[in-house]
Structure 1
Amino acid sequence: MTLDVLLTTIDAVLEALPEDIDKEHPERLKIIRDILGLVITARKLHAL
């Protein structure tokens, strides 16, 4: 499994989480999503 596939899978899992988990841990999930977004962006920029 490549890193790009792993990052895409993690992103899909985060998007599929039920809304009640978002309500219980909004700060944690926001931090995880922000870090994931930064890593994906860095990977895309590195590929240029």
Structure 2
Amino acid sequence: MFDQREKIALLIDGANLHAASKALGFEIDFCKLLSAFRRRASLPRCNH
């Protein structure tokens, strides 16, 4: 999916994503989501 040498920007509107997931009846594990992206590319900085 990504080259490990690539640096990517992952911007998530947490409030809207949380509201949408609640409306659709499921929860998102943000730690697992972050881990999935960290396995696939270099994330030089992460604010959470």
Higher helix share: 1
TM-score by length of 1: 0.33
TM-score by length of 2: 0.33
More RCO (CA 8 Å, sep 6+): 2
